[in-house]
Amino acid sequence: MNSIAYFDHNASTPVHARVLEKMLPFFSVHFGNASSGTHAYGLHAERAVKQARETIAASIGCSSQEIIFTSGSTEAINLGIRGVYEAYASKGREIVTVGSEHKAVLDTCRYLGEKGAKITRLGVDRSGRINPDELEQAVSDKTLLVCIMLANNETGVIQDLKKIAEIVHSKGSILMSDTTQAWGKIPVDIHELGIDICCMSGHKIYGPKGVGMIYARRKNPRVTLSPLIFGGGHERGLRSGTLNVPGIVGLGAAVERLPEMLQHAAVYEKWRDRMEKELIASGKGSVNASGVRLPNTSNLVYAPEKASRLIVKLPEFAFSSGSACTSANPEPSHVLQAMGVPDEEIQHSVRISFGELNTEEQVSSFISALVK
Ligand code: PLP
């Protein structure tokens, strides 16, 4: 496996050695249930969860009560959207989102649409960005929630969230942003950006799979969520179910590394720019979104081969033809479709996402393979 260069860090990342080391005792010696506060086993687990929660809160600049642990971003997004929709049912039934969002957002909105919500899906331009004027027109005082991601998983395109938040808040609505791909790749200041609800997933930041969290603002203004899962009342009744202690400890340890992850951004950007430049110069390809985007992500159109063929022809490199989360679904990328990329080009599009497993040599061999 190690001989295959892994260029799919937006799909998932390996658990970092320091993160794994911190998690391991919580699978065996410290296996206690974090809700069993009557004995030392439970108390040890409870303390570890508290510490992870505080680490995450301090790192992203919120209070620990604003964090609810989940099984990942998909669940966090479901809780954010459906939780707001149910909690504010008397205010209105309108939700505004964007056609290039992750399926976790789009499918949750579609589900609510079938239940009677009015869902407005904004378009994006060829660079993958929304038009703030269209947002301004779409949001009314009946809009409960606006869901716009910070960075796109397929193209890396970053939305101007600060401006978006100003518009959303001026209409008295709530802004939820899928921040899953942004953590560790760009600095994320939720207060500066004006985000009311956002999410995080362990496996995108060199932490474990199956754990994540949702942040929901508790003041100025307070955002109320209704739970999706009922049971023992864990996570202040918002997400019942025995806490995944090793996962949460791992998420906390991964978050401690966020500043370290950001230090690599400039290197990834250099590799990415070189790859794109050489591909374009060879006349063999182009870039689907080259504006403001994540430093590690590139969505390329490779003219000589369809993506499915290219992936088979270059087995020594691991990359994807779109998002891993929709790969069970063979339809063309809805993100590229939303940007107006022609179907023929979508079939030739691949996503390369660099990360900590990569070296300059791997990038050079990949460029050679593409260009020659
Ligand atoms: N949102 C975005 C932008 C993603 O890239 C992903 C995963 O690829 C998700 C949500 C879902 O995250 P999870 O795998 O934690 O459910």
DSSP calls for 214-235: EEE--SSSPPP---SS-SS-TG
Instruction: Name residues of the chain where pLDDT drops below 70.
Output: 1, 322-330
Phi, psi (5° rounding) for residue 84? -70, -45
136, 163 Cβ separation under 8 angstroms: no
Using a 6 Å cutoff on CB, does residue 178 contact ligand 1?
yes
Mutate to test the pocket of ligand 1, among 102, 205, 351 (most ligand atoms within 8 A of CB): 102
The Cα 338–Cα 155 span in angstroms is 12
163, 195 Cβ separation under 8 angstroms: no
Say whether 158 sits in a helix, a strand or coil: strand
Tokens of 175: 């802004």
CA of 74 to the centre of ligand 1 (A): 6
The Cα 312–Cα 306 span in angstroms is 10
Residues 30, 34, 38, CA angle at the centre, nearest 5°?
A: 95
Instruction: Give 84-124 as a DSSP string.
Output: HHHHTTTT--EEEEETTS-HHHHHHHHHHHHTT-EEEEE--
CA of 38 to the centre of ligand 1 (A): 36
pLDDT digits (tens, 9 = 90+) for 72-103: 999 999 999 999 999 998 888 999 999 999 99
Mutate to test the pocket of ligand 1, among 73, 158, 209 (most ligand atoms within 8 A of CB): 73
Q: How many CB atoms lie within 10 A of CB 311?
A: 16
pLDDT for the residue 331: 83
Take atom 10 of ligand 1 and give the residue whose Cα is closest: 73
Q: Which H/E stretch holds residue 177?
A: strand 174-177
pLDDT digits (tens, 9 = 90+) for 20-32: 999 999 999 999 9
Take atom 16 of ligand 1 and give the residue whose Cα is closest: 74
CA of 189 to the centre of ligand 1 (A): 19
Q: How many residues does the chain have?
A: 372
As annotated, the active-site residues are 325
Which one, of 110, 54, 8, 111, lies nearest residue 324 by Cα? 8
Using a 6 Å cutoff on CB, does residue 73 contact ligand 1?
yes
Tokens of 288: 């689907």
Using a 6 Å cutoff on CB, does residue 135 contact ligand 1?
no
pLDDT for the residue 202: 98
